[in-house]
Structure 1
Amino acid sequence: MGHRGENPEVDWPARPDTSLALNRMGTFDWDLDSGRMHLDPTALEVLDLRPDEFPGTPEGLRLRIPPAEEARLDARVAQVLKDGRSHYGAYVRSRSRDGSPAWTHIQGHVLRDRAGRPYRVIGILRDAAHDPGDPGAAGQRDEGRRRMTGVVERTTAILAHARTVNDVTDILKDPEALGHLGAVSVMLGVVDGGRIHLVAEGQLGSYVPEIEYTRVDAQFPMSEAVRTMQPVLLASREEFQLRYPLLWPYIEPLAVRSGVYLPLIAQGRPIGALGLLYTRDGDFTGEERNLLMALGSGIAQSLQRAILYEQEHDLAEGLQRAMLPRRIPHVPGARIAVRYRSARMGREVGGDWYDVIPLGAGRVGVMIGDVEGHDTDAAAVMGQLRIVLRAYITEGHTPGAAMERASAFLRELETERFATCTYVEVDLVSGMLGMVRAGHLDPVVRRGDGSCHRIRVAGGLPLGLPRREGPANGSGYPVTSLELHPGDTLLLCTDGLTERPGADPDTGMRELMEAVRAGPADVEELADVLCDLVGDSGGGDDMALLVLRRRGTPEARGGGPLHHGLEAGDTDAPAAVRHLIRAAVAAWGAGERADEIELAADELMTNALVHTDGGAQVGLRLTAQGRIRIEVEDSSSALPRPRDAGDWEESGRGLLLVDRLADEWGVEPRGGGKRVWCEFAVTAPEPAGTTAEPAVVPAVPGGTAGVSGDCPAGTPE
């Protein structure tokens, strides 16, 4: 009883608040709905906080509780609330105002409403520095073991989906990952020859800029980890300063007290290193070291896989780009822009391609296509198919016939691949388009007034699929005609530009149409705008794009071109064509050369009718270069050549005569036949201040003349 008077200031029996205060036990009250938190004076004293430093919310505890401990405590409370329990307790590492470490024990009681919803936590927060042995040692060890094991499992699971080095670095730089690791900074270095390239760092403000590139033999912990293939453990600031004086100036201003540098080893060789920096002293246990090594092993495997993916992708993309045209030819009368963007998914490039084929006489062929699949085989098939299709077109086959032959070629390759394709033959003088489509997206045309339309092209099966046999089927790839006016823009693309993962199939097409409608007139700028629809990294598919804009060319004097058919045995047809030619030449202001032009045309028509079994097609037009061009197309593949005729021979002088009369002539293979042509240079200066009225060529039965400026040009019989 005599002891009662030794502390007269303490009542007997002591009040609860006095008992709590003397044992450094404070209380807290946390309103989960509003987020408010109350700490009594003893709780503030335990955490070494002044009343003005605590804002009355859980975020105010961050001044004394490190991020890793906060994340662990939040996870513990969230699990209790989820499980429906009413009590929890945890030991938490904290730090005093001077930075010295401390232990705090938190115990809470959860209040719930009648529906079982938690709305409040009331608890005790006490100083655990005087707990026997290591405060919370057993619980902390178990908790630490579970946390680190969970970190390794979660990180390995997340990294399993990493496809590129950037994916790996993004995961490591995630602040949430830093909290799980218990580190304030994470650094990743990749071995590049005899150097280490620092490619990632986490948590801005804690980054230690050792130098972006350091030599493997340099005196840095990351270099040492790579050289020795052993982890480098730094338990204190003094060790940083003593062992790595070159690094110390960067460490000194930071609150870093320890660090670990792990070698990343794959297939027995170092490919990089991982650095982790901590604000606690680094008395790393054997178990922690084993877990960190396991973490480093998982990261090493993911990093090596990402590097291999990028190497394979670069190889496949290089193969694909090598099979695309190296340059786009200059085409008078048009502006053309092309784009290709690969899918950033390891080696999963695709078989998308484009091509531009000058055909002469103001004509150009443009195509776009996509081979099924995303691998190097698709790229190889693409290259073969593009070259073959180009060869058929250059040889002179019609668009439909070229597509038929390309489909047969792909079937003969026996690759079990199919391809979609759209080919458009453009006459830049008349503006006429001949379009064929093999299972591909329809072209898009933007008119000069800004209106935008999808062109419904009659389509055939994708290339490589068996064709349906039967006499009623006709050509497998019918040609659709359309006129492209000066200032109009034609757009061809693959579905990589319109597909949106998880979105309606029409969403991407609507976005494309809106972008084309509102886009700039310049084809290069428009192509860049359209590429931005899928972003720099691309989606799950590669993408090819071709944009062609017809320049504003003057209308030919006297109107458009003339086309006329010649039937075998029709003796009146040549005379009718000669009549049309003479009238057109006069309308074009070249009457002084009418006899020469008519005679050359007559020789070409005679050769076609005499030396072939079928008929022929005769064309006459004024080119953009101011030349009158005559073309005679027949079904014979035998190419004519000039030869010296004897004095008494009745034939053999026709082409010699054409060679003497015309300024230029030539022969073009046309698939199943040929086209023989000749050109005459004419000049027809108009008086200043006058505008010539378009002349009209007299119509002849059986012929079609397009010579009026108001008539659509280039329409075949």
Structure 2
Amino acid sequence: MRTGEPLPEVGDVLAALATGLWHWDTATGEVTVDAVTARLLGLPAEQVTLTEAQVRSRLHPVDWNEITGVVQLAVAEGTLAEVRIRIMDELGHVVRVVRSRSKPAFDPVRKAYELTGTLQEVAEPTPGTPAGRSAVTGDWRRSREAFLLDAGRALAEARSTEEVLRVAAALSMPGFTPDGLAVFGVAGDRLTVIGHHGQPENEVNPFVDMSLDTDYPAAEVARTGRAVYLSSPQQYRSRYPMTWHLAERFGRRSWAYLPLTVAGRTMGAWLAAFAYPVAFTPDERSVLTTVARMLAQALSRAGAAETQRELTDGVQRAMLPVLGPEIPGMDIAARYVPTGGGLQVGGDWYDMIPLPGERFAIVIGDVQGHDVRAAALMGQLRIALRAYASEGHRPDAVLSRASHFFHGLTSDGDPGDLRFATCYYAEVDPVTGTLESARAGHLDPVVRMADGTALILATAGGLPLGIDPDTDYPTTRLALEPGDTLMLCTDGLVETGGHDLQTGWHRLRVVLEDHEGGLEDLADALVGAVHGPSSHHTTGPLADRREDDIALLLLCRQGEGCGCGDSTVARPTVRRTMLSVAQAEPARIATARQHLRDLLHDWPDEDQRDAAVLLLSEMLTNVLVHTDTDALLVAEVAGEPGERRIRVEVTDNGDDLPHKRRPGEMASSGRGLMLIELLADAWGVAPRGKGKSIWYEVYESADPEDGPADGSAAA
């Protein structure tokens, strides 16, 4: 029959049953209706040919969208397309509810659907009856739509295959909830069980691994991509006699096997089994099919995420080093926490490199970026640093060669994707506790002394690696006393959470100075101060909250106070810091003042703290102004609280000894020794083999009536 031709005489019979007849060809976009159908649509009761737009204007918008989905489903399954439709008047009010049944066919040549079907009015049931609560007035639609929205939201939020299966097991379908579920996957030519619910664990063994050629509904669905509905045990037994005995013992009455299809590929099958008979009407099939599609998408996303996490963990394990065997007299701990989103590997790293003579090197760095390229560059740079260190180069030479190497890596690529890297490299002698270090644009190290005082150690440095291949990297010597802990970190630990370097450091300083416990606990506490508990490889919720990668390395020289190992070394009552100030770096005088303030953070008398800092500034300035040499500062606080003393010593290689002068009122200099004599409790000048040192002391328990010590006597 073609559009426009007279309808079959069977229409007269259907008219007597108040049932209309219609024909729809999507290729022409025309719908031919008989008189009964026209009347049900709210049109004059006569045969007429309408456009799709004219018919659509008489139907509820939601129902029109549902019609297209039901038609596609019926064609795919070779079944009838049945749907309830609300008819609207010109004012948008529902005037009646009708049921449409049709047998659609798809013409692949014309790429169009052709349908011939019936239309019959559905009488509204009495309110309050089971029928009235179920389906006709629209409650069944709202219930189904609400269920699908909830199911879609829950499946979309599932992060793993286990969560997807748990959500699927908890689904409560409107009017027909299965009591048994199973998800089958395809692995090569085998059908496997990914997960199940409602069956005892030992009862699913026969289904765990079977050939796709098995005469079993799930295997057929996986092979063909077409759903299988079995409304009764008799139907199951007749269609699948070979495997009926496997399903019989579960005592189910109906089964629905649906394909799990993603991007046109069938990845498995979903079983919904019922303990009571289910007719599997078009509405029920529509719900099951929609759930199967959402389930397939969720499983696909979860599988991809799990594969990515597995890849991420493998890359992390390959790129992050093993800290190696125990070092006599030293303990070391490290943490790496990647940024959230994408590949959970960035440009931050740490390393420990064995060196000849029982020495070792520690390295921490940060390649610009949080992407795969940053991770790849980090891996290459780390290997290069290990190679240069193993060749026996000093720290400055290691960083110089690494900068030249990294510049070659990045300059040959996309000009718009030039990268740089910060790095701190130090050679450690575990016997003496000394470190020879060089720094390339990285954060200065921090030392936590045995008594808990935390200081930023100002070190000399150069440009980040890769910016200028000819940059020099001066070295700085540091010394760890027994019980001291050195902290190296990347800026992700400091600046996360809206902090800058200063406020972020204050936050970490509280953790360093208040923490009591072992080195591993301290590492967790530092990362936890930023975002909560951590581990070496964190890719869960903590990583999702990351703003930047974190790399953290802690090095402790064993002794009482660091908590990193049993030691018979008595807890020292001295804390000390050293700093060099070169002629070409007068700005480091400000750094030296801050160093001393940090050393005296718990000194109770603020006036004494200010006096000590003022005297230090005078002494360093005198060296830079009156000599041609650099200055070396050594400051220490010794004694028990309440009876402590500050001793500050500045050494230079100049030959001239300082002497008192009596400047006039208008003189701009010459008051340095006068200030020392006035503000210090003791001071003096000591000649060295080459050069001299000038020192002063301030006593916490000094008696004001005693006055300052005699400078000449102190000398």
Which TM-score bucket, shorter chain as reference?
0.3 to 0.5
* Superposition TM-score, scaled by structure 1 size: 0.47
* Superposition TM-score, scaled by structure 2 size: 0.47
